[in-house]
Amino acid sequence: QLQLQESGPGLVKPSETLSLTCTVSGGSISSSSYYWGWIRQPPGKGLEWIGSIYYSGSTYYNPSLKSRVTISVDTSKNQFSLKLSSVTAADTAVYYCARLMITIFGVVIINNWFDPWGQGTLVTVSS
Amino acid sequence: QSALTQPASVSGSPGQSITISCTGTSSDVGSYNLVSWYQQHPGKAPKLMIYEVSKRPSGVSNRFSGSKSGNTASLTISGLQAEDEADYYCCSYAGSSTSVFGGGTKLTVL
């Protein structure tokens, strides 16, 4: 059974960089059928897609966060990571990683559903 | 890329049916049959309930069903049970390899 687990600091100072890692177990991150995504949820608010990555390193980002986000993958460790720079209090959220089912039409990647999800990790931005 | 629009809350009595709407635009919901729905209990991670508008993953009760008309997708839960009380989120493909979520709907079972 595929499982995902987020890890990283729970407290980040304003203007610094948030760094999280998602470890995939029970399956390979190098599957051709999936991307791997990050989603966040501010306290009491809805879900926001941050971005996704393929095992080859191909990435797609939410346009609203693109200038501050970097997602990378380490296939040798079956992990992918998120870096969000210049954080503010507005970036305080529970951050989830999830497997993203995709369909490939030629060179176009079509996002489908997210499943399974990690348990999530709360990151608070505060001095 | 704007969030999909969902009602903030819906409610129903045990045994009844409820429907949650998810309204997008011709750039997301209206253009693709790639709407998924997630159930989230307090303090828990979201769980996939419906994908590709109306398909149910293995293990999800057939009391959950999905549909779409134009720019609006819907999730219907029939035979409401106390355990269905949760937050529900829709998600759609939005083109250019991006995804967009709805703002979420809190379902209360009276």
pLDDT confidence bin for B1, thresholds 50/70/90: confident
Nearest to B84 by CA among B44, B28, B40, B22: B40
Per-residue pLDDT tens digits for A51-74: 999 999 999 999 999 999 999 999
pLDDT one-digit tens code per residue, A93-120: 999 999 999 988 888 888 899 999 999 9
Torsion of CA B48, B50, B53, B54, to 10 degrees: 160
To which H or E segment does residue A96 belong?
strand A93-105
Cβ-based interface (< 8 Å): residues of B facing A: 1, 3, 32, 34, 36, 38, 44-48, 51-52, 57, 89, 91, 93, 96-104
Asked whether the beta carbons of residue B89 and residue A39 sit closer than 8 angstroms, the reply is no
Q: Supply the mean pLDDT for chain A.
A: 96
The answer to whether A117 contacts B32, with C-beta atoms less than 8 Å apart, is no
B86, B90, B87, B85: which is closest to B100 by C-alpha?
B90
Interface test with B, best of A113, A114, A122 (most B CBs within 10 A): A113
Q: How would you classify the pairing of strands A18-25 and B35-40? A: unpaired
On whether the CB atoms of residues B28 and A103 are closer than 8 A, the answer is: no
Structure tokens at B94: 């939005």
Summarize pLDDT for B50-90 with one digit per residue, the tens.
Answer: 999 999 999 999 999 999 999 999 999 999 999 999 999 99
The answer to whether A105 contacts chain B (CB < 8 Å) is no
Phi-psi map region of A57: left, alpha, beta (phi>0 left; psi -120 to 50 alpha): left
Tell whether A10 is within 8 A of chain B (Cβ). Answer: no
Query: Average pLDDT over chain B, rounded to whole?
Result: 97
Using one digit for the tens of pLDDT, what is the confidence trace for A32-46?
899 999 999 999 999
Give SS3 for B45.
coil
